[in-house]
Amino acid sequence: MNNKRIIGIAIFVALILVIVGIKFFSDNEFSDSNLTTIYVATGGGKEDFLADEEVVKILRKKYKLNVIYDSWSNGKTVLWPLIREQYGFGDASIADRIAKGEKFTITSPGVSKYDALFTSDQRFYDYYQVSPNKEKDEADRYRVLDGSLTLNTPIVIYSWAEIVDVLINEGIVTKNGNVYYITDMEKLMNYILEGKKWKDIGLTSLYGSINIASTDPVNSSPGATYYGLLLAILSGGEVTTDNIKTNLPKLKEFYIKSGYMNNAPADLFERYLKTGMGGEPMIVDYEKSIIDFANANPTGFEQVKNKIRILYPSPTIWNSHCLAVFTEEGKKLLEAFNDEEIQKIAWERYGFRTGITGGSYDVSSIGLGIPQQLTSIVTSLKMDTYDELINYLKGE
C-alpha cells in the first residue's frame, strides 16, 4: 500500500472520529442528565407550540430546561390537588391509591409536585392565586412566586367579504386601513334578538336569520370568553352588581336564539372554512386560528385568503394563556418565554401574541387585515362573574 493511500485512509478515519466525537459531546451536553427537569400542569390550546422542535431546542440549549407538560382541565386545577399522580403520572402506587378514592394533598409525602401552572384562561390564573373555597371542596394550592399573561390571542369574528360589505353599509363594521372593526356590536346583537334575516339587510343569497356561531359558553372556554365580552359591552365596559342583573336576561335571550353550539373551537373553524359563506356566515373564534391554518395548509389558505374577513370587536377581549410559577426552576421557564426567538415562533407559526398590546413583531406577513397592536380591550372578568353568567345561561 503506497503512502498516499495510507494518508488518505488516515484522514478519512480522523474525519469519522471527529464527526462521532462532535455528535457524542453534543448529545451529551443536552442530555436529560445535564438539564433541569421541570413539571408544568398545562391547560389546552397550545400543545403544538409547546411541542415545537425549535422551542424545545431553545429551552434545552439556552436555558438548560427539560420541560414536561402534563395536560390538565382548567377547572380541575382549583378543585384537585395539583400533583402529577392526580392525572395518573408520577408515582404509580400513589396514582393507584388516588384512583381507588384515597385523598392526597400537595403536601402529602411522596407526591410529585409541579413547578408551574400554565392555564389557558386568565380567570383560572387569577383564581388560583386566591385562597381555596373549602365550601366548594377546592384543594389547597401552591404559593405563586411569579407569573404573567404569557401567550395572548384576541376574540375575533370571522366572516366573508360580501357580508362585511353589507355590515359596513349598516353602520356595524368600520374599516380602518386594511383592518375591519365591529364598532356597533350592540346593533348587531339587536338584529339577532329581533330575528332579522340576512335578506332583510340585502343578502338575498343567504337563507335564515342573522346569527354568529360560537362554541357553547356553558362547556367551552372560547364560548365563555365571548359571552364575557358581550356582557362587558352591554355593561359599558364595567360589569357591576346592578348592571349584570339588567343584562343577563338579554344575554340569555341571545344565547337561546343562537341555537345549536359546538363545543370544539377547531371543529367550528374547520366548518367555517369548508362550508363557506352559505354554511357559516359568521363565527366567533381566536385570531390565532387563521395563522395556524395558514401555516398548516398554505395551499388551502391561498384559496380563501381573499374571501375571508377578520372582524375585531371594539372593544375585544384577550384569551390569555398565563404562567404561574411555584419554584425557582419555574421562574427560569417564565424567563424563557420572554425570549425573542420563542416569541417570534409563537406568533409566526401559532398566532400567539406576546407583550402588553400584542408584541413588536411584524403582523403583515400573513397578508390579511390584522392590526399591529390592539388597544381597545376590556379587562378579563373575574371567576365569580363568569360563574354567575354561566349559571344564568344554564338556568341555575
Q: Which of 391, 275, 334 is closest to 125 using CA atoms? A: 334
Average pLDDT, the chain: 90
Q: Containing H/E element for 283?
A: strand 283-286
Mean pLDDT value of segment 177-195: 95
Cell numbers linked to 243: 348592571
pLDDT at position 357: 46
> How many alpha carbons fall within 13 Å on the CB side of residue 225?
29
Between β-strands 36-42 and 65-71, what pairing exists: parallel, antiparallel or unpaired?
parallel
Unique residue bearing C-alpha cell 354568529: 212
Dihedral sign from CA coordinates of 205, 208, 209, 212: negative
Q: Cell for 53?
A: 422542535
Question: How much of the chain exceeds pLDDT 90, in percent?
Answer: 76
Which pLDDT value is given to residue 354? 84
Q: Tell me which DSSP letter residue 272 carries.
A: H
Residue 275 has pLDDT above 90, yes or no: yes
How much is the pLDDT for 42?
97
DSSP line for 3-53 = HHHHHHHHHHHHHHHHHHHHHHHHHHHTSGGGSEEEEEEE-SS-HHHHH-H
Question: Quick one: pLDDT at residue 305?
Answer: 92
Q: Which residue has the cell 343584562?
A: 247
The pLDDT score that the predictor gives to residue 364 is 74
Read off the pLDDT of each residue in 231-240 and give the average, rounded to a whole number.
89
- Cell triple for residue 93? 402506587
Task: Give the CATH number of domain 153-320+369-394; options: 3.90.228.20, 3.40.190.10, 3.90.1150.10, 1.10.510.10.
Answer: 3.40.190.10
Place of cell 399573561: 149
Q: Please, which residues bridge with residue 149 across strands?
A: 322
* Every domain of the chain and the residues it spans: 1-30, 153-320+369-394
Higher pLDDT, 287 or 362: 287
CA angle centred on 381, ends 291 and 213, rounded to 5°: 50
Handedness of CA 233, 237, 240, 246 (dihedral sign): negative
Spatial distance between the Cα atoms of 284 and 158, rounded to a whole number of angstroms:
6
